[in-house]
Chain A
């Protein structure tokens, strides 16, 4: 090969299928005899179902069955492991959040089921929900996904009090919902004791295993299929209640059942990013050397379940600060369980910390970029371990150059474009790299075609393309000879496609498997045996490998805004992002993902907020006409690029993950630019007009 395949900006292999509408997403699947299920969500957030009148609904044409807590099959609703979420499977009459499923209508058509669902009359015994973060039951979780939730190094309080320049502020981020373009959807079909599930999921294996537990059957009797997923962002990381409800409904009516959520139901039981309140104390010596960071995080969780937004990880692992403390506290509200949303912890944590760093830079009279460089950490500041590699300095330098940061007048409200106030802000991105075990099967057929198989999903990130690229490069064959096969639990095991870990996990398995296949081929002098070559490799990172280095991806974000000084409207006019995430497997698909992360960061800065009516705990903007996301007119030309430095130490694929680091820091960069433009420090997202009417 003259041109290396790895990194080549190839078109995604499924592009044509998607463009012509041939790619089948879960809700596109139709099975023989399939019926349609529609969930009736609760209209209260705290109480119980007093009675359900099904008379009118059952009288509608096409209605086959109505499943409520009175007739639902008995199942195991509680979670098997702490990481899983409680499911609400009509096992009792208790309601603990708004839009909790209270019934499922099954009818011949989707329209019939939808109409009948509106006619199910549910009466409630209702009590006032707890929605006051200050008054709600509080507790300190012990764990942040396996790491301590409270952590300290040095003497943070003493150092803070002794330091020359101090910032002590509270930053707030609102509840935000994932809202992928594809709604959650499940199709369930029983064949005796065997269950087939098509599910819009980031992890078919997770669906299989959880449903095995719910229904008390061995996992090998379940096949889960998740091939094309129309965006997920963490919201489809685990099966929520409707997956089991679809299977229960299918059992009840003894026919295959399709269940698709509506957009308002996407604000119901399928997770969200929790609101956070982050108290940040940050102090430096007069020369800008950081003395102490204290990061106290408070976030919401549900009445009966636990999700901690791990904001502290961001501050723990970034700057060279000897004295540090983080803590996390949860408050129980009558809401559905929060969950991972793209860059969980880092997106929210970076808003607080990178805003505070900006405030500190003004207090010190130091350029915000200089302050970051002054406190640059060559090793992980907490563990002291060396990084597999770190090129954040290059990110800062190259992005600053492209952005022309040196044109910035450091004074606030000093730059103008006509009537508009102009501001420039920057922030740092950082996220830990993870990988999990994964298996890959490579089959070299006698005709020379090669199949690479793994049960992961394609959610827009380009997995089928990049894994074929990796395999083709290592096997030394043209790209079009290799086909990646994916999408169900009959294939070799894949980890959860989240946490920016698929390229690192499945990619590493592909690299090792392809190297083994290449060796077999070389041993046969390049001649493929008549029965072909099959290599199955299970790639599992050793604890020793994982512990030798600190593994993090980094980035630097620079934003320019224009603010109308009278009307408060903000426009992002320029945006530059540089990322350091190891080897890039496909420049085109990577660019898309980095770009998407930055757009979402802008969205977090300016638009997104799920607005609860605190009296009822109901979200009053539960659809996309009032839950705002950016339009094209809100997004400038974004200049994103990767520092393409190889990282041979991190994993066999040499990648540190791009999905999440790309949405980290953007919100702070925009908020910092708004401050530079206006002199108004917005510490509560989103930055809306009323916060800038001075």
Chain B
């Protein structure tokens, strides 16, 4: 681990000033991700700017949206009564994430910005275009059982690791940021970037910009939602495949649908194709399977992870069955 400085930021503007003056600095909130990466020498910040004291942890229900502060802890969000009542898929996705200790520390902003679990990204002795652009992708023909099958490129097949971001992207959530240039509201669907030829660029954040909140538009039928996660053990493990689903069913016909997939894509994967297969169709297994086929139609499997394609389909069908039941 590199030696580094430490600064406690007392206000958002102070934090932004600190980072503007030190481009090698990083923000630290829960620290559940960046500290690991620093120990592995993947991240070598000059300074850690501690933002835990900033007033960004509130969860507020408005008329049209629920706004979750960037510093709200995963465990606090998961047990918040409005979250549980309005967006069950968000609460489930959080409950199914990490371990209780990590959920008590991890924050919403940090969760959205967590880095991939790709073993090559995390091992500086190996090539990785995301960590060291131009060095190659170790996973492409290497150990790639847990890598992505959607949104990949020859340069990078690293899967996005977040659970809750999958639920957020299904719900048309918006990321609110603050930078020296002012504040921005970025739909989560536009926030993440697939790797293409620049896997080192993962999202729309500008240098020195911070996430201050994420807001979820309130739609009544989001109450009929769930998150299904398939993984290698019962707890404390990332998704091999996951599905966040909300359905508005009236008279056996799907009126509205939201579908997003996790564990199988380079970004939290909203599937409009699956939604199109669902809307105005009977809420039956045949429909669900068509939606699953549509969701994975562009998928590409690699030597060890082709199983994720059928697995993701089944995971999505299970989620649709669960919500429609």
Contact = CB atoms under 8 A, between A and B. Distances in A.
Interface of A: 43, 111, 114-115, 118, 566-569, 571, 606-607, 611-613, 615-616, 618, 620-622, 625-626, 628, 630-634, 688-690, 693
Contact of A688 (B1, B125, B232, B235): B232
Interface stretch (B207-215, B248-256, B311-319): B311-319
B318 A566 contact: yes
Contacts of A43: 125
B145 A611 contact: yes
A443 B316 CA distance: 70
A567 B41 CA distance: 36
B234 A628 contact: no
B100 to A, nearest CB: 11
A61 to B, nearest CB: 9
Contacts of A630: 233
Contact of A606 (B117, B233, B314): B233
Contact of A628 (B123, B125, B138, B232): B232
Contacts of A114: 1
B311 to A, nearest CB: 6
B235 A631 contact: yes
Contacts of B232: 607, 628, 688-689
B323 interface: no
Contact of B120 (A620, A625, A633, A688): A620
A618 B126 contact: yes
A239 B1 CA distance: 28
A631 B314 CA distance: 25
A642 to B, nearest CB: 29
A631 B240 CA distance: 17
A80 to B, nearest CB: 33
The 5 closest A-B pairs by CB, nearest first: A690-B307, A633-B234, A43-B125, A620-B119, A620-B143
Nearest to B230: A567
Given A115-B2, A567-B315, A689 B233 contact: no
Contacts of B236: 631
A626 B125 contact: no
Nearest to B237: A628
A contacts with B: majority SS:
loop
10 contacts: A115-B3, A118-B1, A569-B230, A607-B232, A611-B143, A620-B143, A622-B123, A633-B233, A634-B235, A689-B240
Given A615-B142, A631-B234, A689-B232, A621 B311 contact: no
B64 interface: no
A607 B233 contact: yes
Contact of A566 (B120, B125, B142, B314): B314
Nearest to B317: A566
Contacts of B233: 606-607, 628, 630-631, 633-634
A564 to B, nearest CB: 8
B125 A618 contact: yes
Given A620-B126, A625-B117, 7 more contacts: A607-B232, A615-B142, A620-B119, A630-B233, A631-B235, A633-B233, A688-B232
Interface in B264-323: 307, 310-311, 314-315, 317-318
A634 B143 contact: no
| Most chain A Cβ neighbours within 10 Å, of B41, B233, B315 | B233
Given A607-B232, A633-B235, A567 B1 contact: no
Contacts of B1: 111, 114-115, 118
A556 to B, nearest CB: 26
B contacts with A: majority SS:
loop
A111 B38 CA distance: 13
A567 B311 contact: yes
Contact of A689 (B120, B138, B142, B307): B307
Contacts of A622: 123
Interface in B102-152: 117, 119-120, 123, 125-126, 138, 141-143, 145
B143 A689 contact: no
A688 B234 CA distance: 12
A690 B41 CA distance: 33
B46 to A, nearest CB: 14
A606 B237 CA distance: 14
A613 B307 contact: no
B125 A567 contact: no
A567 B318 contact: yes
B234 A634 contact: yes
Contacts of B231: 569
Contacts of A111: 1
Contacts of A611: 143, 145
B43 to A, nearest CB: 13
Nearest to B240: A689
A60 to B, nearest CB: 9
B45 to A, nearest CB: 14
A606 to B, nearest CB: 7
Contact of B126 (A566, A616, A689, A690): A616
Contact of B117 (A566, A567, A626, A632): A626
Nearest to B307: A690
A620 B123 contact: yes
A223 to B, nearest CB: 34
B323 to A, nearest CB: 16
B119 to A, nearest CB: 4
Contacts of B315: 567
B119 A621 contact: yes
A335 to B, nearest CB: 15
A447 to B, nearest CB: 48
B142 A613 contact: yes
Nearest to A44: B125
Interface in B1-39: 1-3
A620 B237 contact: no
A630 B235 CA distance: 9
B143 A621 contact: yes
B26 to A, nearest CB: 18
A613 B138 contact: yes
A615 B141 contact: yes
Contacts of B123: 618, 620, 622
B283 to A, nearest CB: 18
Contact of A626 (B99, B119, B230): B119
Contacts of B125: 43, 618
B142 A693 contact: no
A693 B310 contact: yes
| Most chain A Cβ neighbours within 10 Å, of B119, B231, B311, B314 | B119
A604 B125 CA distance: 28
A613 B315 CA distance: 29
A452 B145 CA distance: 53
Contacts of B2: 115, 118
Nearest to B228: A567
A615 B125 CA distance: 14
A111 B145 CA distance: 34
A406 to B, nearest CB: 29
A461 to B, nearest CB: 27
A372 B236 CA distance: 38
B317 A620 contact: no
A625 B234 CA distance: 14
B301 to A, nearest CB: 11
Nearest to A616: B126
A611 B119 CA distance: 10
B314 A571 contact: no
Interface string B162-204: 0000000000000000000000000000000000000000000
A550 B9 CA distance: 71
A668 B121 CA distance: 35
A107 to B, nearest CB: 13
Nearest to B232: A628
Nearest to A686: B232
Contacts of B126: 613, 616, 618, 620
